[in-house]
A and B are shown apart, each in its own frame.
Chain A
Amino acid sequence: MTGRLNLAGRWDAVVDRYNAQPKVAKVLWVTLFVVFVYALPLLRPPILTTNSIDFGGVMFRVIAFALVALGLNIVIGYAGLLDLGYVGFYCVGAYTTGVLTIYHGSWPFFLVLPVAIAVTMLTGVLLGAPTLRVRGDYLAIVTLGFGEIIRICVTNIEWVGAAAGIKNIPHPTGIGAEPKPPFDAGGLFEVPRLTWEGFVPSIDNDHKTAFLAFGSRDAIPYYWLILTTLILVLLGDRMIKASRVGRAWEATREDEDAAELMGVPTFKYKLMAFALGAAIGGLSGSFYASSQSGYINPQSFPLLLSMLFVAAVIVGGSGNRWGAIAGGALVAYLPERFRDFADYRMLFFGLALTILAVWRPEGLLPPRRARRAKAAEEEIEALEDGELEGAHDA
């Protein structure tokens, strides 16, 4: 029992030690960490790197999932609204991008991106305005239906490509020369990556990444783009959470009636959380549509994806932005890592999630509140145990 909890305890100690550092040291650590994360697909550290599938592509997926989880964390973790149809927003963002960049228009990606965000946000408001009046379980059911409705709609509407989906979605415009297939990668300059013989690194000059051109050969530039977006969203999340908006969300989650009677317009804040979550989902979907393969179809947005998104937030630690990111990353990474197990990879993935849920029910990186509540509980338990023992002695 203690051995199992200790690992988690040790990690908490690391977090505490980090929090106790002076501000300069914190900034330094964060900078180092960010640089490391940016360089990760080039460093290709052994053990972490997936060998049977392109690591850059996996890392793109990892960050895309982290971004989705970060958005869903606002809805589930902060405002306490269980949204089981989040994939719907992801889908709307992706299809808006596909439709405007190639299917019915030829707008450049960076012009479409804000439109895709706005459209998903509007979808969120349209879905939220009538449904956020119902609570708890009902909201979960309504959103579950929404996710399916969106998927069925895009399957059947010819205007958005029906079952065939949308092909050849243009990539974002890069910096420097455009890539000229098949051999010229374009970009401003090229960055080599590392290759490892066991644990000995050497520079691999055969696989260079162009900075910053978005072609179909290399996923790493997409990774950098979405990672940058994730960091911006993360900063925004931090600002909003530590403001009256964040407090209003949490108060609504804790006790909606009491919040209302303390002057919080709860419906407005729930709708805001919902729309904001939707917008971030749409943002991620938009990146997904214009990524390396440039192809989306209705099968890219199954119900299962919604469940994985929710699992990411819960496993990571609902209510903690770092938890959501870790959860999203894990949920995207593990199935790829287990690819070596071929047919059994989903089994291992499910096992891993189960073990995590048992080992750390409050999530991988629970919010401060959960940690403190747990600490208080343990304290009380210890006191009660002491009293009981005392009673035995007497």
Chain B
Amino acid sequence: MPEAKALLEVDNATLRFGGLTALNEVSFDIKEGEILGLIGPNGAGKTTCFNAMTGVYQLTSGEIRFDGGSLAKLKRHNITKLGMARTFQNIRLFKAMTVLENVMVGADAHSKVGFWEALFRLPRHRRTESASLARAKELLDLVGITARHDELASNLSYGDQRRLEIARAMATNPKLLCLDEPAAGFNPAEKQRLMELIRKVRDRGVTVLLIEHDMRLVMGVTDRIVVLEFGRKIAEGTPAEIRDNPAVIAAYLGVDEEDAS
């Protein structure tokens, strides 16, 4: 198998908050077209890693490169425009906007329409608007909440809110989609559907980074897994390798071995 190009490279990333080292010389990369799982016990630094990637935190040292370019000093919305989108562990939708509007905000990420074009309804506004609308509707269809497009986001059920987050992130047309515990609070049937959805997303050519606690889901859907513990990378490999890695079992799966197998 030819080596795929690395889409995202995390290179010796270290992040300190005062005395606390949240990330300690973490290095891994995500190859184009793969589904990479990022796992680790609570407080291992998974979400911190996400936040460093999407520009919420600046690294203390080390570098994160996306598509060959460094992400340091880039504004958060520009990182999104480069092609990295994310969902949130604790759902953060635009609650008072409709489902469709939520997705449209994501679709607007690449819009070049300015104030005057919108005010006078110039051709580019019309074109962009109808393209965004079509894209938003198609994505709602993908995640399966088309029927609720006119509801307020806050009125959706928990599962639908999670699905809407994925649709909104997908609307920004990402190369890399980062999912932060998308299955939290899901029942087994919903998890099954989520796995299918993640595969569908990958089949569209989007690389996926998945933070998840549910071992069955991670083992079932990812191509490779990176394991963090106390801010360090302790293992990396295919799901089968990770399952048999003694360090991982000791650190993380030891208490939960049955669930993992």
Q: Tell whether, in the assembled complex, residue A265 and residue B88 are in contact, meaning their CB atoms are under 8 Å apart.
A: no
Which residues from A are CB-within-8-Å of B106?
262-263
Which residues from B are CB-within-8-Å of A254?
93-97
**Which of B128, B152, B155, B172 is close to A262, meaning CB atoms less than 8 Å apart?**
B172
Which residues from B are CB-within-8-Å of A255?
92-95
Scan B89-117; emit 1 where CB is below 8 A from any A CB, else 0.
00011111110010011101111010100
Interface membership of A369, Cβ < 8 A: yes
Beyond A257-B92, A258-B92, whether A263 also contacts B119 by CB under 8 A is: no
**Total interface residues on B, using CB and 8 Å?**
42
Which residues from B are CB-within-8-Å of A259?
94, 105
Binds B, one of A36-44, A244-252, A322-330: A244-252
Main secondary structure, interface of A, reads helix
Cα A257 to Cα B92 with chains together (Å): 9
Binds B, one of A183-191, A235-243, A346-354: A235-243
Interface membership of B175, Cβ < 8 A: no
Cα A296 to Cα B121 with chains together (Å): 38
Interface residues of B in 150-179 (CB under 8 A from A): 151-152, 154-155, 168-169, 172
Interface membership of A84, Cβ < 8 A: no
Which residues from A are CB-within-8-Å of B110?
263
Beyond A258-B93, A260-B76, whether A243 also contacts B88 by CB under 8 A is: no
Which residues from B are CB-within-8-Å of A260?
75-77
Cα A251 to Cα B101 with chains together (Å): 9
Cα A201 to Cα B119 with chains together (Å): 43
Beyond A243-B129, A244-B108, A263-B106, whether A257 also contacts B101 by CB under 8 A is: no
Interface membership of A76, Cβ < 8 A: no
Interface membership of A26, Cβ < 8 A: no
**Which of B85, B97, B113 is close to A251, meaning CB atoms less than 8 Å apart?**
B97
Interface membership of A376, Cβ < 8 A: yes
Which chain B residue lies CB-closest to A254? B94
**Which of A236, A258, A266 is close to B119, meaning CB atoms less than 8 Å apart?**
A236
Q: Tell whether, in the assembled complex, residue B125 and residue A262 are in contact, meaning their CB atoms are under 8 Å apart.
A: no
Which chain B residue lies CB-closest to A372? B152
Which chain B residue lies CB-closest to A268? B77
Q: Tell whether, in the assembled complex, residue B54 and residue A261 are in contact, meaning their CB atoms are under 8 Å apart.
A: yes
**Which of A250, A265, A373 is close to B94, meaning CB atoms less than 8 Å apart?**
A250
Which residues from A are CB-within-8-Å of B76?
260-261
Which chain A residue lies CB-closest to B165? A258
**Which of A245, A248, A261, A373 is close to B96, meaning CB atoms less than 8 Å apart?**
A373
Interface membership of A264, Cβ < 8 A: yes
Q: Tell whether, in the assembled complex, residue B108 and residue A248 are in contact, meaning their CB atoms are under 8 Å apart.
A: yes
Cα A373 to Cα B95 with chains together (Å): 10
**Which of B56, B98, B105 is close to A248, meaning CB atoms less than 8 Å apart?**
B105
Interface residues of B in 43-102 (CB under 8 A from A): 54, 56, 75-77, 80-81, 85-86, 88, 92-98, 101
Which chain A residue lies CB-closest to B92? A258
Scan A66-87; emit 1 where CB is below 8 A from any B CB, else 0.
0000000000000000000000
Interface membership of B120, Cβ < 8 A: yes
Q: Tell whether, in the assembled complex, residue B119 and residue A261 are in contact, meaning their CB atoms are under 8 Å apart.
A: no
Which chain A residue lies CB-closest to B112? A244
Beyond A240-B115, A259-B94, whether A247 also contacts B125 by CB under 8 A is: no
**Which of A240, A257, A370 is close to B56, meaning CB atoms less than 8 Å apart?**
A257
Interface membership of A272, Cβ < 8 A: yes
Which residues from A are CB-within-8-Å of B168?
262
Which residues from B are CB-within-8-Å of A370?
96
- In the assembled complex, how far is the CB of residue A262 from the closest CB belonging to chain B, in whole angstroms? 5
Interface membership of B240, Cβ < 8 A: no
Cα A265 to Cα B81 with chains together (Å): 10
Which residues from B are CB-within-8-Å of A261?
54, 56, 76-77, 80, 85-86
Would you list 27 pairs from A and B whose C-beta atoms are within 8 A, ordered by A residue?
A239-B118, A239-B120, A240-B115, A244-B111, A244-B118, A244-B132, A245-B115, A248-B108, A250-B94, A251-B94, A251-B97, A254-B93, A254-B96, A258-B92, A258-B93, A262-B85, A262-B106, A262-B109, A263-B77, A263-B106, A264-B105, A264-B108, A265-B77, A369-B98, A369-B152, A372-B152, A376-B152
Question: Which 4 residue pairs are nearest across A and B when measured between Cβ atoms?
Answer: A263-B109, A243-B118, A263-B80, A254-B94
**New A-B contacts (9) at CB < 8 Å, excluding given A240-B118, A247-B97:** A244-B118, A247-B101, A247-B108, A248-B105, A261-B86, A262-B77, A262-B80, A262-B85, A369-B98
